[in-house]
């Protein structure tokens, strides 16, 4: 009987207003940037809007190719939310950007399924996100300038010693 009531509450919440579902997910930043070969991690705050424990039993996601979603953070760290609990911001998922990816905006979504029972697979919440792939920077890293300075210093010392070993010049 109790499980039936919880299921009805979840069903009512799912058909209710779009602003308040069983769980509210708020990404700390829904538009992250990286270059090809990089990755970004999305942090989320999750709120259980229900007056009972909600088990987080699964996830699903989509993102434009060639990007891929890594849901390890969700699989390892997200299990349930107690009644009216707020969690976060914490890592929910990451997006990997392969080398050679064309600079552009790539859209995606991440959904969480679950319910009051550990085997429920009701859709609890979905968040949309964007990964902006930017062109690789042509500005040298600071370490490059340090190495260049060191090489010039060694070259200067070598020229000075060589000149000193030849003796004074005669005019």
When pLDDT is cut at 50, 70 and 90, the band that residue 115 belongs to is very high
9 vs 51: CA distance, rounded Å: 10
Name every residue whose Cβ is closer than 8 Å to that of residue 83 and which is 6 or more positions away in sequence. 48, 50, 51, 52, 53
Segment 72-97 mean pLDDT = 95
When pLDDT is cut at 50, 70 and 90, the band that residue 9 belongs to is very low
Give yes or no for a contact between 49 and 111, defined as CB atoms under 8 angstroms apart: no
Residue 89 has pLDDT above 90, yes or no: yes
Torsional sign, CA 51, 53, 57, 58: positive
When pLDDT is cut at 50, 70 and 90, the band that residue 8 belongs to is very low
Note the pLDDT tens digit of each residue in 24-66: 999 999 999 999 999 999 999 999 999 999 999 999 999 999 9
47 vs 55: CA distance, rounded Å: 13
44 vs 92: CA distance, rounded Å: 6
Give yes or no for a contact between 22 and 14, defined as CB atoms under 8 angstroms apart: yes
Residue 2 has pLDDT above 90, yes or no: no
């Amino acid at each position: 009987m109790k499980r039936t009531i919880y299921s009805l509450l979840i069903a009512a919440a799912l058909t209710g207003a779009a602003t308040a579902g069983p769980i509210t997910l708020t990404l700390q930043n829904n538009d992250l940037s990286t270059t090809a070969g990089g990755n970004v991690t999305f942090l989320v705050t999750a709120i259980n809007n229900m007056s009972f424990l909600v088990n987080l039993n699964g996830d699903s996601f989509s993102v434009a190719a060639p990007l891929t979603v890594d849901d390890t953070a969700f699989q390892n760290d997200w299990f349930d939310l107690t009644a009216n609990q707020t969690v976060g911001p914490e890592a929910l998922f990451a997006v990997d950007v392969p080398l050679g990816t064309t600079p552009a905006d790539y859209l995606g979504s991440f959904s969480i399924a679950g319910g009051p029972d550990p085997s429920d697979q009701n859709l609890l919440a979905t968040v949309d996100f964007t990964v902006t792939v930017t062109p690789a920077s042509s500005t040298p890293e600071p370490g490059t300038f340090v190495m260049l300075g060191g090489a010039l210093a060694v070259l200067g010392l070598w020229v000075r010693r060589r000149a000193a070993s030849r003796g004074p010049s005669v005019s």
